[in-house]
Amino acid sequence: MAEHNPQATGSGYDPQAIEAKWQKRWADARVFESEADPSRPKYYVLEMLPYPSGTLHMGHMRNYAIGDVVARVKRMRGFNVLHPMGWDAFGLPAENAAIKNNTHPRTWTNSNIAEFQKVLRRFGFSYDWRREISTCEPEYYRWNQWFFLRMLERGLAYRKKSRVNWCPKCATVLANEQVINGYCWRHEDTLVESREIEQWFLKTTAYADQLLDDLKLLEGGWPDRVITMQRNWIGKSQGAKVKFPVADVPGAGSIEVFTTRIDTIYGATSLIVAPTHPLLAKLLESSPNRAEADAKLVQMRQSSVKTEDLATAEKEGFFTGRHASNPFSGEKIPIWVGNFVLMEYGTGAVMCVPAHDQRDFEFCRKYGLPVRVVVQPLEGEPLTPDKMIAAFDEHQQGKLVNSGPYNGLSPDDAIAKMTTVAEQKRFGSGEIVFRLKDWGISRQRYWGTPIPVVYCPKDGMVPVPDKDLPILLPPNPKLTGMGESPLAATPEFVNTTCPKCGGPARRETDTMDTFVDSSWYFYRYCDPHNNQAPYDSAKVGYWFPIDQYIGGITHAILHLLYSRFWCKVMRDLGLITHGEPASRLFTQGMVLKGGVAMSKSRGNVVDALEMAEKFGADTGRLYTLFAAPPEKDLEWSEESIEGSWRFLNRVFRLVERHAQSVRGTNRGNFDIAKASEKEKTLLRKTHQTLRRVTQDFESRWHFNSAIALLMELTNEIYAQEPLEEGMRPELRKEVLELLTLMLAPMTPHLAEELWEMFGHTEGLWKTSWPAFDSDLAREEEVEVVVQVNGRVRGKLKVPAGLAENELVTRAMAEHFVTQHSNGKRVVKHFFVPDKLLNLVVA
RNA sequence: GCCCGGGUGGCGGAAUGGCAGACGCUGAGGACUUAAAAUCCUCCGGGGAUUUUUCCUCAUGUGGGUUCGACUCCCACCCCGGGCACCA
C-alpha cells in the first residue's frame, strides 16, 4: 500500500474527528481525575516518567498504551484509579542543547514538555493531568533539597574526597551505576576517567542489608531478573577480615585482607595488595626492589584505568621484597602487588590461596609461587598441588588438612571456629562486605537541583535552614560545558551569607544527580501542589504502595534501586509506613526498528504523532498491543499496522450497520431457551470470548491474544451476517455491545463512539466491565479428539458432557479407530471431558 | 566464566501436559469496478499417496529421558539476546 488514505476504506470511521470529540468530553467530565477516598478500593498504576527530549516515539507510546489498558480496566472494575504523568526535566541534554543553541535549558526543556504533552493528549491516555509534575520546577526540587537536609542531619549525606568516575563528554562525575563496562552510560564511545574530587554522597550502604532482604517482599510481584540484578549489584559476601602483620618493615603495622574462606588460611602462600593500596609506599620505601617496583606500579596504575577489559586481562604482579606473617601459623609469606586486586572492594588486599581459588592459582602458576592443599574432599582422589582445584562449591564436603589444630574439621566448622579465634586474639573479625557503594550525587553541571549547603570561613560547612528553601538556580548562568560547575562561575549565586554567623560565605556549586528527582516523584503525584511538605502522609498512605509500576528494564538497577533506598529513608523519617514503593513491576519490551531500539541518534524513530495523524491513536495503541506480548521486544512494521487499522474499520462498519436497528432494546433482556441456532452460536462465542479476554486482562496481560480473540469474534459475527435474519435485536445488541466494551480499554475513543451509536446517552466510561455468563458460554455440542496410541485419528461431534464409557463405545465403533488398532485390544484409555479420548491398544 | 531470558511457517506471533501454527502481516488466485483504491471470497510449513475428495507422514534449535500423550516437564549440548564479572 503506497499511500494510506483513511477515507478510502469506504467506511465512516474517522479517527481524527472521533478522537478529538471524546478527548474533549472526557476532559469536560473530568473522567480521569481521582481523589484519595478511603471508602473505595484504590489502584495506583504508573508508567515511568519520561525524560522530555526530542520526539515522543512509538517506544514511549507502547509503554503508556500498556499502562492505559490497565488503568481503564481497573476503572471499569470499580477501582479508584490514580494514573498520573510528569516530566523528568533536569538533565544534561537540556544543558548541552542550550549551549549549542545559545538558549536557556529551561527553554529547550519546556518546549519539549509541551510537545510531549501534546502527543500524550493526542493519544487520549487517561491521565489525571491536574497532578502533572516537572522536576525542574522549584516547587518540586525544593523538596529534593529538603530531603537532602534531612539526610544530612542523619549522617546519610556526607562529603568526602574521593576518586570518581569522570566523563569527559558530560564534563561531570558519574555514579558507579552510570558506568557501563568502563564507558559512560550516555556516551557509549567515551571511556570514563578517574579523578579525585570532593563529592557529596548518599549513604545507600547504610541500607544495603534492607535493600537486599526486602527483595524477598518483591518476589512474585517483580520480574525475577530485576530482583537478581539488584541482588548481584548489592553483592553481599559473608566472610572475615584478618590482619597480617608486616614482618620486615618496623612500624608498618599490618595489612588487612578480606576473605570468605578463612578456613583456607593455612593454604595462603602469599599476600597480594592492590596497586593503589595505601600501605604500599611504606613497604617499598628502602626496599631492595624499589626502582623496579616503582616502574611496574606506574605501568599497572595506568593500565588499570581501562576497566573494560579488566576481567580478561592477564594477571600481572611483582614482589615487594617484603613479608607478612600469617596470624594463625606465624608463617612468613611474601607480599606481592597484583593488578587483579581491587582497592574498591573489601580491604584492597587478599590472601592468596592458590589451591582453592582459580585466580590465585593462575597468579601463582605464572610467578612460580607454591601451591598448598588445605582442604581435601571426603571421597575420591585426594588433591595434589599439581591438580587445579578451586573446589569452592564442594567445600562443604571436604575436611581440612595441613592446617595445624584445625585439621579434620569441615570447612564450615573451621570458618566458624577460626573466625572466633581471630576475634578473641584480636587480629580479625567476621565481616559482611557489600559490593554496593554509596551513591555519589554531586554533578558539576547547571541543570539540576542545587545542593543546599554553604561554606563559611568561620563555621565551615553549614546547612541551609529549611525556611530558606528552595535554593533557586540562578536565572542566567554561564554555560560552557567545560570544567567546573557553571554555578561556580555565577557570583550572584556563589556569594551569600552564612546562616549561622551572618558573615560572607560561599554556596555549594554542585548540583544533584537527576536520579534524585526520580527517586521519589511518584509520591509527589499524590499531593502535587503541597507547599508545606513533600506530600501529605495521609494521601500517600491511601495511594501507596504503587500497585503496578511499568517501565523499561534499563532502569532495573539505577532508578529502581535508588527509589527503593529513598522509600526506606522516608519511612525512617516517619513520613510513610511502607518499606517498598511498588508492589508489582512490569518491564515492557522495547520497540525496535531494524533490530535496534528506537533512538533519535540512530535516526530510526517512528514519530508517535505522525502515527496518530495517519491512522489515529486507537489504531496506534491497538497495534503496539497486538504485535507482540508486552514483555517482549517488538519490531516495528509499517505493513502490519494496516491490519489493526482494517480491523477497527470492520468493527466500525459492523456497528454502523446495526446500531440503528438495536436502539431502544435492552441488552440482557432475553430468554435463551427460545434462542435460534444463530443466536446461540453468537452468544456462546461472545461469552467465551469475554471469559478469556477477562482472564487475559486480569492475570496474564496477554493483550495480543485478547485482541486476536476479539478479531475472531468479529469474524464470526461477519460470518453470521445478515444478523437480522434469525436474530432478535436485543441479542444483536448483546453481542455488539460486549464486543465494544471489551475493546474499550485498548481503543477507548472508538468504543465511546460506538457506545453512543447504540443510543446510550451516558458515556461508556460510566459502564462497568461486563460479567460473562457461564451458561451462555457453555457448548451444547463438542468436538472430541480421538487418539489411538497418542496419535490423532479422528474427531467426534457429541453432546457436551457425554459420559466417558458412552464416548469410548462410540469411538470404538468408528472406522478411523478400527483401522488404526489393527485388531488389537484397547487395554487402556485416557479421557479429558469434552476434549479428548486417547485409546491405548496393544 | 557465572546468572537470567529466548529459539515454533516467508514475517510478527498463538497454544497455562491434550487437534502445533489461532489471530494478523506478506504473497497467490478470484469477485466487484471502465480502472484503481477500498471491500468481499479462496488458498498459503515440508514430503508422499489419492490428484473430485481425503488420507498418510515428517516437523516447534540438537540429542536423550519422563508420560497414554511433550512446543510445554527433566537432563545434556548448540545458537541468539540481556545482565554480572579478576568481588577475594
Lowest mean pLDDT among A621-630, A665-674, A676-685, A769-778: A665-674
User: Alpha helix locations (H) across A720-814?
Assistant: 729-743, 748-757, 774-777, 804-812
User: Alpha helix locations (H) across A77-104?
Assistant: 92-101
Helix (H, G, I), strand (E, B) or coil at A593: strand
Grid cell listed for A419: 573466625
Average pLDDT, chain A: 88
Q: What would the pLDDT profile of A799-820 be if each residue is shown by its tens digit?
A: 888 888 888 888 888 888 888 8
Contacts of A656 (CB under 8 A, 6+ apart): A11, A12, A757
Q: What would the pLDDT profile of A170-209 be if each residue is shown by its tens digit?
A: 777 777 767 776 677 777 777 777 777 888 999 999 999 9
What confidence score (pLDDT) does residue A388 get? 53
What confidence score (pLDDT) does residue A313 get? 66
Cα-based angle A825, A831, A834 (whole degrees, multiple of 5): 130
Cβ-contact A125, A68 below 8 angstroms: yes
Cβ-contact A596, A602 below 8 angstroms: yes
Taking residues A220-235, report their average pLDDT: 87
Helix (H, G, I), strand (E, B) or coil at A252: coil
Nucleotide nearest to A260 (CA to C1'): B88
Write down which residues 336-365 in A have CB closer than 7 A to strand B.
339-348, 350-351, 357, 359, 362
Report residue A300: phi and psi, to 5°. Answer: -65, -40
The distance from CA A258 to its chain's CA centroid, rounded to whole angstroms, is 32
In 3D space, the residue among A270, A322, A313, A273 whose CA is nearest the CA of residue A297 turns out to be A273
What confidence score (pLDDT) does residue A127 get? 98
The distance from CA A137 to its chain's CA centroid, rounded to whole angstroms, is 26
Interatomic CA distance for residues A564 and A514, integer angstroms: 16
How far from each other are the two terminal CA atoms of chain A, in whole angstroms?
58
Cβ-contact A469, A146 below 8 angstroms: yes
Interatomic CA distance for residues A738 and A154, integer angstroms: 57
The distance from CA A735 to its chain's CA centroid, rounded to whole angstroms, is 40
Cβ-contact A48, A559 below 8 angstroms: yes
DSSP designation for A268: -
What confidence score (pLDDT) does residue A393 get? 44
Q: What would the pLDDT profile of A105-118 be if each residue is shown by its tens digit?
A: 999 999 999 999 99
**Interatomic separation, CA of residue A647 and C1' of nucleotide B29, rounded (Å):** 23
Position A426 pLDDT exceeds 70: yes
Position A699 pLDDT exceeds 50: yes
**Interatomic separation, CA of residue A37 and C1' of nucleotide B23, rounded (Å):** 41
Interatomic CA distance for residues A713 and A707, integer angstroms: 10
Cβ neighbours of A125 (radius 10 Å): 24
Lowest mean pLDDT among A227-241, A443-457, A734-748, A756-770: A227-241
Q: What is the dihedral of CA A630, A636, A641, A644, to 10 degrees?
A: -10
Position A521 pLDDT exceeds 50: yes
* CB A636 under 7 Å to nucleic chain B: no
* CB A785 under 7 Å to nucleic chain B: yes
In 3D space, the residue among A162, A163, A168 whose CA is nearest the CA of residue A191 turns out to be A168
Nucleotides of B under 7 A from a protein CB: 3-5, 11-16, 18-20, 22-26, 37-41, 55-57, 68-70, 82-88
**Res. A473 pLDDT band, cuts 50 70 90:** very high
* CB A395 under 7 Å to nucleic chain B: no
What confidence score (pLDDT) does residue A815 get? 81
Percent of chain A at pLDDT > 70 equals: 94
Interatomic CA distance for residues A125 and A46, integer angstroms: 12
Nucleotide nearest to A311 (CA to C1'): B86
